[in-house]
Chains A and B, each alone.
Chain A
Amino acid sequence: MNILTIKKHGTFKVKKSTKLIDCLAKNGIPIIATCGGKGRCGSCRVRIITPQKPPAERETLFIPQSALKQGYRLACQHKITHDMTIDIPRLKKVKFTRLNANYGLALDIGTTVIKGAAVNLKTGSAEKISSVYNLQNSIGGDVLTRVGASIDGKYDILSKLLYSSLKQLKNCLGIQKPAITIIVGNPVMLSFYLHEPVNGFAQYPFTSNLNKGIFLKNPPRYVFPIIGGFVGGDTISGILQSRMHKSGKNSLYIDLGTNGEVVLIRGKNIYAASTAAGPAFEGIGVTCGSLALPGAIDRVSYAKGALRFHTIDNKTPIGLCASGLIDLLSILLERSILKDNGRLKYAVPISSRICISQNDIRKLQLAIGAIHSGIKILLHHAKTAPKNIDEVVITGEFGSRLDVNALVKIGLIPKGTKKVSFNKDLPLQGAVMAIKNNNIFHQVETIREHSIHIDLAAQPNFQEVFVASLKLAPWN
């Protein structure tokens, strides 16, 4: 045990070698960490008064020299090894200019980050959008770990952490008592929100009772239903916003996140699956990867014998986000530095600090293969073929824009699709739309009723399809 003293907050007993950011989260002290505490965004800045230690290389990427000298460090990069005294820079005060009665709140509760929008009820527009670190991260980075922790008696703590995060988010948005709140999210997050048990998510066959949308009073709220298994209300909301369910066309919806939801709409039927792609496209587990944050390489091109990079906000490169990784894979394939079986000729340097390795490629290959095989299996269930897909919509945290040719080249989407569009925040936007539009709930229920959850785990030929899908090559 060590003592952690936080100025103006008090002293706390903490377990040795706990990460500082986790101590803060556990004790309910608000701290923002948009990347989920992975040393990739620089937002969890605190001032360490004692003990003084030289900064890690990572920290010098995000904190200017002058601030480093004053002791500013990243809370996610420090473990408690001795007693520690710190100071937390005050969060910028938000002026409560918003009249609560005139505002609605749209929430997308994600595992890593919770997003919210303050929606003007008169105009229907989202006037402010913010996001906060889901404080549950201190217990575990992924939903399953949190489900496991709940079974071990930590349900109440997790529930508290979720509500503290939501409070923080409301503060950021300057909206305390919204007239209405619309909530979307994955099934596990929605269960925590509703104080429903999560034990059913620990193992096969993953059951819950959120199959209908829920209206709550005091304060007035609506929680989206889930589709089934790990396909949640965020997916319904994304479909709603994309309007694919109304277009009468054959369309494909892909969420490029950890869960990797894929949805195929054919006629009235909505086939949905979660492909368990893993967090590679969020830059996690890939040494050269990064979330789509300032400094992330979001575009890669090849000209005059050299790779060229563009970073978000033109900052020093910290790693590649999904759009950059996809560009890079496609260029390496084109230049035959990468073979379609995933064999990389040599580790390719990106900057003085970063390179893409064989192991990185293997991780990405699993994620691409997971989504590819999910699409193939949905096509099979819907008894249709890639050439009949009129439109593909991709959402997720991928960076700036995705290159359609690159997506086809690496085999993430089938070739020959007529139209492909990208939109970063479809689930949140769907929730915003629900605030403006009162008869939307009917549409939500209709989407839910027409949805068919395809359990990939129950497909007898999954391994065969998946292994074939690991090939980084165009398919149809």
Chain B
Amino acid sequence: MQGVNLKLDEIRKAVIEMDDVKTAQLVNTALKQGLAPQDILNNCLIPGMKEVGELFTRKEYYVPEVLLASEAFYAGFNIVSPLIKSQSTEKKTKVIIGVVKGDIHDIGKNIVKVLIEASGYDIMDLGKDVSTERFIKAVTIEKPAVLAMSSLMTTTLVHMEEVIKELIKKKMRRNIKVIVGGAPVNEEFANRIGADGYAEDAMQAVKLIKKITIG
């Protein structure tokens, strides 16, 4: 039993150490040993990425480390996820993310996206320079639980409010939680435009989504 535990911990460590080859190898070994893919995901890969997120919050890890660690995470995730999909019926919470119109700064959004996905959410990424119409269309079709918008420029913040107003106009606001983030965004702004929350960094975004989607 102890040997198995060791392997689990090694997978978590390989993610934190940003080693994609090792992560994949260890995951395959663990599967051969009979470990459930769901357990590998929930007890190794996700906790590993979560710790990466914490290290990032503490500024010990930075953008390159998070992106490298996410490659390690996906190396394992891509092995276990098809095995899980075929057995589980449990539905994941859906989140749509995108950078608002006129803004192409997407590195921060990409990091937020990785950590949300690594925390077990079903994420759909609309990319950057996303028009209000595209956001609305995506929400109409996909019916996500959460819409996450990012903006890095003060001049494009207005589009966040625009999207929220459009959701209200289309009577779609009540069925969805809207969160916002990006360097020029703050709590006060989020409240003013009627968002459900603001997150300062990627890890906060994950915690926020968890909080507002409960119940």
Q: Mark A110-148, 1 if CB is under 8 A from B, else 0.
A: 000000000000000000000000000000101011011
Query: Are B129 and A204 interface neighbours, CB within 8 A?
Result: yes
B156 CB–A CB distance under 8 Å:
yes
Q: Decide yes or no whether B104 CB sits under 8 A from chain A.
A: yes
Chain A hits for B188, CB < 8 A: none
Contact B153 A466 (CB under 8 A): no
Measured CA separation A470–B64 after assembly (Å): 8
CB neighbours (8 Å) of A342 from chain B are: 62
Cα distance A204–B155 when bound, in Å?
10
Chain A interfacial residues counted at CB < 8 A: 25
Residues on A with beta carbons closer than 8 Å to the beta carbon of B64: 341, 467-468, 470-471
Mark interface residues in A418-433 (1 if CB within 8 Å of B CB, else 0).
0000000000000000
Chain B residue total in the interface (Cβ 8 A): 20
Contact indicator B156/A203 (Cβ below 8 Å): yes
Q: A202 at interface (Cβ–Cβ under 8 A)? A: yes
Pair A203/B62 contact, Cβ less than 8 Å: no
Which B residues, 58 to 84, have Cβ-Cβ distances below 8 Å to chain A? 59-60, 62-65, 67
A203 touches which one: B59, B60, B110, B155 (CB < 8 A)?
A: B155
User: Do B104 and A148 touch across chains, with their CB atoms under 8 A apart?
Assistant: no
Residue A60 interfacial (CB < 8 Å):
no
Q: How far is the CA of A468 from the CA of B67 in the complex (A)?
A: 11
- A463 with B107, Cβ < 8 A, contacts A148-B154, A148-B155, A204-B129 known: yes
From B60, B102, B104, B107, A202 is in contact (CB under 8 Å) with B102
With an 8 A cutoff between CB atoms, is B103 at the interface? yes
Asked whether A463 and B110 contact (CB < 8 A) given A203-B103, A204-B104, A359-B59, the answer is yes
Best-buried of B59, B60, B155 by chain A (most CB within 10 Å): B155
Alpha-carbon distance between A147 and B156 when the two chains are bound, in angstroms: 11
Which chain B residues lie closer than 8 Å to A144 at the CB level? 153-155
B residues near A468, Cβ cutoff 8 Å: 64
Which residues of chain B come closer than 8 Å to A467, judged between CB atoms? 63-64, 67, 107
Q: Is the CB of B110 within 8 A of A145?
A: no
Chain B residues, Cβ within 8 Å of A201:
155
B106 within 8 Å of A (CB atoms): yes
How far does the alpha carbon of A471 sit from the alpha carbon of B62 in the complex, in Å?
10
A343: chain B residues at CB < 8 Å are 60, 62
Name the residue of chain B whose CB is nearest to the CB of A147.
Answer: B155
**A140 vs B155: C-alpha distance when bound (angstroms):** 12
Residues of B within 8 A of A (CB): 59-60, 62-65, 67, 101-104, 106-107, 110, 129, 153-156, 158
Instruction: Using A202-B102, A467-B107 as known contacts, list a sample of 9 further A-B pairs with CB atoms less than 8 Å apart, ordered by residue number in A.
Output: A144-B154, A148-B158, A202-B155, A202-B156, A203-B102, A204-B102, A362-B59, A362-B62, A463-B106
29 inter-chain pairs at a CB distance below 8 angstroms, sorted by A residue, are A144-B153, A145-B155, A147-B155, A148-B154, A148-B155, A201-B155, A202-B155, A203-B101, A203-B153, A203-B155, A203-B156, A204-B102, A204-B103, A341-B62, A341-B64, A343-B60, A343-B62, A358-B60, A362-B62, A365-B62, A457-B104, A463-B106, A463-B107, A463-B110, A467-B63, A467-B67, A470-B62, A470-B63, A470-B64
